[in-house]
Amino acid sequence: MRYRTLPGTDLQLAALTLGCWAIGGEWWGDDADDEAARALIDLAWERGIQSFDTAPLYGRGHADALLADALGPRRHEATIVTKVGVRWDTPGGHPRSDLSPAHVIADAEASLRRLGVDVIPLLLTHWPCEAKTPIEATLAALEGLREAGKVRAYGLCNAGPELVDRALAAAPIAALQTPYSMIRRDFEGALRDRCGAIDGEGRWRQRLGVLAYEPLARGLLSGKFEGAPPRFPESDLRARDPRFAEPIWSRLQPLCEALRRVGAAIGAPPAALALAWVLRQPGVSVALVGAKRPAQLAESLRALDLLERQRPFDALAPFVAAARP
Ligand SMILES: NC(=O)c1ccc[n+]([C@@H]2O[C@H](COP(=O)([O-])OP(=O)(O)OC[C@H]3O[C@@H](n4cnc5c(N)ncnc54)[C@H](OP(=O)(O)O)[C@@H]3O)[C@@H](O)[C@H]2O)c1
């Protein structure tokens, strides 16, 4: 495994950090299985992944409980990344972001209890606030949690450049979690500029840790879906994801085919190529890779062997460019 230290902190994250959304068992179809998830977490640990990304929303606490139980005493050594803000005790049960200081504190305390730890290594706001709390007030609450020893570092998810600017001006945020993959590239440009820059010697200098999420585009870039758009049960959020439906589906197929072809030529799984592509981009600290079972993670881990290769990525480049929205 390779590790990345988040700027301004002593937090080390595995370059491939395990994303725990799908193992929460909700919104990802009917085949998430707790025993497979435990084996997945064990494999991750065995292969040097000691960092895990979770959130209260993932299975409404189930991902946290499963992660804590599967790790056992190892959870105290793990670098667990979790989130605050989203509540579902709302009319109709629709998730909604409340980043008021009171809710941030209560939500963090609940995560500490569910995860069975004394300190949360990295705590991120899950979505921008939908309850009118200024980011400065939210960050003051997070700083209070840090001073109280309940959080080691904190940051944001799903923030645009303006929100990142305000946060950087107000508090020592350590990280931004943001979507990034071969087919989702909003990070490039203004957002990436906030997170680092090229120094006088031509080397990229990271200013803010960047955790790239959904690097496989919810499995689309794993190469496993061929032909017509796949059909998902209503319990799977991909049933409503336009990337898995026409007309976008057909536009992405040449890239999926190229991932299979280039992967076959070098003996690497398409998922590993898609992940290595993300990790090779300037500004990315780590990729958060989701999986439901060990075999998927084993494929993804092959990305680490590809980071220094150039030719496979040259071969993929025209297809990545053509897939751009
Ligand atoms: N902060 C946020 O708002 C936010 C939002 C999204 C995600 N995240 C974080 O980022 C993590 C990663 O994103 P993600 O899980 O949404 O998407 P992802 O990593 O792009 O895709 C993960 C899914 O792809 C499939 N898959 C993985 N490896 C595979 C392989 N080798 N072969 C075939 N299929 C494979 C699995 O689903 P199937 O087996 O069902 O196909 C798996 O659950 C999440 O778990 C979460 O921790 C954060």
> Is the CB of residue 125 below 6 angstroms from any atom belonging to ligand 1?
no
Answer yes or no: is 106 within a domain: yes
218 exposure class (CB count in 10 Å sphere: 0-12, 13-18, 19+): buried
**Residue having the nearest C-alpha atom to atom 10 of ligand 1:** 213
Question: Cα(33)–Cα(120) distance, rounded to whole angstroms?
Answer: 26
Q: Is residue 177 classed as helix, strand or coil in its secondary structure?
A: strand
Q: pLDDT at position 132, please? A: 92
321 exposure class (CB count in 10 Å sphere: 0-12, 13-18, 19+): exposed
Q: pLDDT at position 205, please? A: 92
Query: In this structure, what DSSP letter does residue 202 have?
Result: S
Question: Cα(65)–Cα(37) distance, rounded to whole angstroms?
Answer: 12
**CA 139 / ligand 1 centre spacing (Å):** 28
Average pLDDT over residues 108-124: 98
CATH of the domain at 36: 3.20.20.100
Domain with 62 in it: 3-222+281-307
Answer yes or no: is 323 within a domain: no
Which is the closest atom of ligand 1 to the Cα of 178?
1
Average pLDDT over residues 25-31: 94
Q: What is the value of pTM for the model shown?
A: 0.97
Please spell the DSSP secondary structure of 1-59, one letter per residue. --EEEPTTS--EEESEEEE-TGGG-SSB-S---HHHHHHHHHHHHHTT--EEE--TTTT
**CA 166 / ligand 1 centre spacing (Å):** 29
Give me the count of residues in the chain: 325
Question: Cα(144)–Cα(140) distance, rounded to whole angstroms?
Answer: 6
**Residue range 42-83, pLDDT digits in tens:** 999 999 999 999 999 999 999 999 999 999 999 999 999 999
Q: pLDDT at position 325, please? A: 73
**Residue having the nearest C-alpha atom to atom 19 of ligand 1:** 290
Mutate to test the pocket of ligand 1, among 13, 18, 20, 21 (most ligand atoms within 8 A of CB): 21
Q: pLDDT at position 324, please? A: 84
Which is the closest atom of ligand 1 to the Cα of 295?
31
Which is the closest atom of ligand 1 to the Cα of 271?
31
**Residue range 226-255, pLDDT digits in tens:** 999 999 999 999 999 999 999 999 999 999
Answer yes or no: is 65 within a domain: yes
User: How crowded is the C-beta side of 13, counted as CA atoms within 13 Å?
Assistant: 28
Which is the closest atom of ligand 1 to the Cα of 181?
20
Answer yes or no: is 286 within a domain: yes
Mutate to test the pocket of ligand 1, among 288, 293, 297, 299 (most ligand atoms within 8 A of CB): 288
Residue from 26, 79, 42 nearest 288 by CA? 79
Helix, strand and coil content of the chain, in percent to the nearest 5, comes to: 45, 20, 40
Answer yes or no: is 258 within a domain: no
Answer yes or no: is 244 within a domain: no
Answer yes or no: is 249 within a domain: no
> Is the CB of residue 40 below 6 angstroms from any atom belonging to ligand 1?
no
Indicate whether 101 pLDDT > 80: yes
> Is the CB of residue 289 below 6 angstroms from any atom belonging to ligand 1?
yes
Indicate whether 288 pLDDT > 80: yes
| Burial call 55-88: b when 16+ CB within 10 Å, e when fewer | bbbbbbbbbbbbbbebbeeebeebbbbbbbbbbe
How many domains does the chain divide into? 1
Indicate whether 281 pLDDT > 80: yes
**Residue having the nearest C-alpha atom to atom 30 of ligand 1:** 296
Question: Cα(123)–Cα(186) distance, rounded to whole angstroms?
Answer: 23
**Residue having the nearest C-alpha atom to atom 38 of ligand 1:** 219
Q: pLDDT at position 90, please? A: 86
Contact by Cβ (8 Å): 286, 211: yes
Q: Within 10 A of 302 (CB to CB), how many other CB atoms are there?
A: 17
Mutate to test the pocket of ligand 1, among 18, 211, 221, 222 (most ligand atoms within 8 A of CB): 222
Answer yes or no: is 113 within a domain: yes
Question: Cα(38)–Cα(110) distance, rounded to whole angstroms?
Answer: 22
Indicate whether 93 pLDDT > 90: no
**CA 45 / ligand 1 centre spacing (Å):** 18
Residue from 82, 215, 223 nearest 153 by CA? 82
Average pLDDT over residues 172-176: 98
Q: Is residue 303 classed as helix, strand or coil in its secondary structure?
A: helix
